[in-house]
Amino acid sequence: MYTHSYYHLQLVPIVALSLVPITQFGLERLYSILSTRKSFQRNLVISCLIIIALGVMLYSSWQALIPLYSRDYRNEPAYWKEIASQLPDDGKIMALTQDYGYRLMYYGWRKVTLWPNRGEQNLIKLRGSGKTFEELFAERSEGKSYFLVTSFNQFNDQPMIKQTLYENYPIVAETKGYVIFDLRQPQSTSP
């Protein structure tokens, strides 16, 4: 669940219902203790508990909102539309991109086949796939005309794909945010 911030949501009602008996016991105990106190002391303790509970809820809400306000997503549609406009229409595209290519599909109306990211490659190794990088690249790139890279963290963490693309394939388009390689015309690596 640590990989996605929403995978735990189905546990919220289960945990809430599980806490009811504990909370009920604690409140009954607190009420029995407070019933022996004077009205002023009882009201002071209740007020402090309410303030603490509100403070915890406000802090948790603020922590949830910080990531939403810390990044400006207004340029996302234009960015993905620009990438889509640079992608040639004359062949299938493989991509190493964010969000499983959904942003490119939504904003740019272009579907791509995904190159496995680090996590997926680790799973491939754990499953015991005895394929070498060359075999994996040949299998995945078969029938593809272009290779799009927008996730440069993933790209830099996979030196084999980076080296293979830069050394063997011409660049169709390149900016700070993306690079497109032409897989149809491998460059000769021999002198």
Question: pLDDT per residue over 21-54, tens digit each?
Answer: 998 998 888 888 888 878 888 788 888 989 999 9
Is 117 in contact with 96 (CB distance < 8 Å)? Answer: yes
Q: Does any domain span residue 100?
A: yes
- 19, 37, 70: which is the final residue of a domain? 70
For the chain, how many structural domains are there in total?
2
The b-or-e profile of 33-55 (16+ CB within 10 A means b, else e) is ebeeeeeeeeeeeeeeeeeeeee
Q: Does any domain span residue 188?
A: no
Provide the domain limits for residue 42. 11-70
- Top-confidence range, 38-47, 130-139, 164-173: 164-173
Tell me: the pLDDT tens digits for 77-98?
999 999 999 998 888 999 999 9
What is the model's pTM? 0.68
Is 1 in contact with 7 (CB distance < 8 Å)? Answer: yes
Q: What's the rounded Cα separation, in Å, for the pair 52 and 145?
A: 60
